[in-house]
Structure 1
């Protein structure tokens, strides 16, 4: 039995009592949107960006749930406090609720809103990552759903595309799937955005393709601009990734995770991957932990004594 509490439709309830109706459209059809968030020091990382993406997802599936960003943020904060969590994984889901059992949704919406949380390690400088090693990637046969079929910007409960991709990894035991678009170009991981270095720039598949606009992806591109590193958001082949000098994947919980290999071909981390990890950690440290593990010049305390390997 767990003493953790989830937020369900405006109320905090014990995990064992946190339920939704079997007639809920989120359960029946995947008719729901969600955001995976990470809390550092009691606050959600880049809430405004997550809230905007959630709103875009809802708009993409014509879900007018009527909840303000402030109200959703209040419920998240209440859930974290109730569970005495300052560093945590947070999942916010909004479904179209219970409606008559037909595929076409009704215009009247009484949404189901669920917030789940679980503890994660402290973030920032000198933090323990939630992954235990650099990622191994495996290309899969499952293609990313084209934007014309299901809008890429919509983060919905309809996650079968990613599930099918991950099921293919059972043969190789890789950590993440590399998904291609319908033309055979790089799209994204099953739950992550792809980055690699080609000797001239930091490269990542463009949002013009079927690629989710990741919040951590956006943060990495912002760091690149701050550090004067050119970024090429374009169309790339699998050989571009396999032949990269270094590569990494990003998502909210992994943050910046180095890539060890792609389809069994060694890629490995490198100086740029390490740089992005360090700057990302320093940003989190300053914003959410008052910079307590940073030295006076803004660098990681004790950095000169540490191994540079990721």
Structure 2
């Protein structure tokens, strides 16, 4: 798909990419004053849509952004975007900003939101699908710390992604030692909180396996409650895999038998190495990946 035949859904209208614009006075542009969700459509079905909508509403509540849009309205905009681009298997991003308001920091309670839906093709998922990622992730811990929940709610998925941008910028800095002995550059940054406990990747949640148990940093800390993370924990509980959510130091993660990252696009992505220490996937990672694919297949493809 190229920009020539690519369409966005902007404020209720399907428009070609070349005409998809947002005002420079929009608060989403000025201040990052906006909520968003990234989703995956499998076979034309938006996977875990109810959960995405609930998290979107939670973010809007945290921002005091009363957009006035219904779940049905937003879902219709997503469906229309997929149809306009002739996509069944796709990455989907839905953004809601506070819209155009006077150029002052204090938001006005009356909102005329800007709503944008974007979609791009991804491979088929499920049991017959292909991974979006080509190789397991190479991960490096960094000095940039996760913004504390007391400053910006960790559970709010907003356009203000400066924390993650700084994390990735640090990862890519020349001369920062982010290449392993084979010359492979790390492709995800692992952030800790202000107290030094491992939090999450710049765009991913962390899982690791030690002594047969699945561990992940708790969302009681400065961790975004990822929806893929939530589903993995459910699958583990349903299938007798012991799990623990807690606070972990980096040394403990480095002693893991297996480790993987989760986000909506990657699904489950094994960690090949962390800070130069080889970890890789393993039986628990492989089992959970299979269970995840089975759920996608059953929910999204079985009736198509």
**TM-score surpassing 0.5?**
yes
Give the match's secondary structure for 2:127.
coil
**Offset of residue 82 of structure 1:** 1.0
**Aligned pair partner of 1:190 in 191, 195, 202:** 202
Query: Is this contact kept in 2: 1:224–1:230, CA < 8 A?
Result: yes
The C-alpha deviation readout for 1:217-260, integer Å capped at 9, x for no partner, is 00000000111011100010101111100000000000000111
* Structure 2 residue ranges without an equivalent (≥5): 179-184
Query: Is this contact kept in 2: 1:285–1:291, CA < 8 A?
Result: no
**Aligned pair partner of 1:47 in 43, 46, 49:** 49
Verify: 1:14 aligned to 2:9, yes or no.
no
Give the match's secondary structure for 1:27.
helix
Tell me the residue number matched to 1:142: 144
**Aligned pair partner of 2:65 in 59, 63, 66:** 63
Q: Distance in 2 between matches of 1:268 and 1:82?
A: 40
**Aligned pair partner of 2:126 in 124, 127, 130:** 124
Q: Distance in 1 between matches of 2:107 and 2:301?
A: 44
After TM superposition, the structure 1 = structure 2 runs for residues 234-253 of structure 1, keeping only pairs within 5 Å, are 234-253=246-265
Q: Distance in 2 between matches of 1:168 and 1:20?
A: 30
> What TM-score does the superposition give when structure 1 sets the normalisation length?
0.93
Q: Distance in 2 between matches of 1:271 and 1:79?
A: 38
Tell me the residue number matched to 2:156: 154
Tell me the residue number matched to 1:302: none
**Offset of residue 291 of structure 1:** 7.8
**Aligned pair partner of 1:26 in 13, 28, 39:** 28
Tell me the residue number matched to 2:293: 281
Give the match's secondary structure for 1:91.
strand
Verify: 1:259 aligned to 2:261, yes or no.
no
After TM superposition, the structure 1 = structure 2 runs for residues 196-207 of structure 1, keeping only pairs within 5 Å, are 196-207=208-219
Give the match's secondary structure for 2:88.
coil
Q: Distance in 2 between matches of 1:72 and 1:150?
A: 26
**Offset of residue 126 of structure 1:** 3.1
**Offset of residue 200 of structure 1:** 4.3
Give the match's secondary structure for 2:104.
coil
Verify: 1:214 aligned to 2:226, yes or no.
yes
Q: Distance in 2 between matches of 1:27 and 1:260?
A: 37
> What TM-score does the superposition give when structure 2 sets the normalisation length?
0.94
**Aligned pair partner of 1:113 in 105, 112, 115:** 115
Tell me the residue number matched to 1:295: none
**Offset of residue 209 of structure 1:** 0.3
Q: CA RMSD in A?
A: 1.0
* Structure 1 residue ranges without an equivalent (≥5): 293-310
**Aligned pair partner of 1:180 in 171, 177, 192:** 192
Give the match's secondary structure for 1:140.
strand
Give the match's secondary structure for 1:149.
coil
Give the match's secondary structure for 2:273.
strand
Q: Distance in 1 between matches of 2:268 and 2:225?
A: 15
The C-alpha deviation readout for 1:158-197, integer Å capped at 9, x for no partner, is 0000000011111412111100001000100000000001
